[in-house]
Structures are given as structure tokens and as C-alpha cells.
Amino acid sequence: MARKLFKGGLWSHADFLRLWTGETISQVGSQVTLLAFPSVAILFFHASPFEVGLLTTLEFLAFPVLGLSPASPPTASVAGLS
């Protein structure tokens, strides 16, 4: 039954398979980072709960601070095209 689901359609296009594989690897890497980053801080640096919370906050705070939101695409000057 599984073979019928993956035959034809997008699964037969090499470009889609590359995109799907790359996205899957990216998502797995992101999830590993979410788990490993605080774990390393706790296990190797003996971080307190407050420090781990601060570390996690700073990790996610970088996106709005740097302006990497979908609502504001990079301008020509940011992209180095000016």
C-alpha cells in the first residue's frame, strides 16, 4: 500500500525529492539543536534553570532583533545590492 502512495506525482520528480530531503534534514537538525543546546549547558557548564531559560530566550530573541521575520523581507541595502 505504501508503494502506491509514493508512485507518480511529485515523488517521481528529482527536484522535489531534493527539496523534500533537504527540508527533512533541516527540520531534524533544528529539533536536535533545540534539545542539545540546553542539554550541553546543563551537563557541561552546570547551568542553573535561570541560565538555561536565559539562554533559550536569547536564542529565540535573535530573530526579532535582527529583523528576520516573514513580514519584513530584506531590503536591497541589507542584501548588499545597493
The whole-angstrom separation of Cα 29 and Cα 60 is 16
For the stretch 10-62, pLDDT in tens is: 888 899 999 999 999 999 999 998 899 999 999 999 999 999 999 999 988 87
The answer to whether residue 9 scores a pLDDT higher than 90 is no
Would you state the cell numbers that stand for residue 56, as one nine-digit string? 533559550
Would you state the cell numbers that stand for residue 39, as one nine-digit string? 542539554
Q: What is the pLDDT of residue 60?
A: 86
Which comes out higher in pLDDT, residue 23 or 82? 23
What single-letter DSSP state applies at residue 68? -
The whole-angstrom separation of Cα 1 and Cα 81 is 50
> In which band, very low, low, confident or very high, does the pLDDT at 64 lie, cut at 50, 70 and 90?
confident
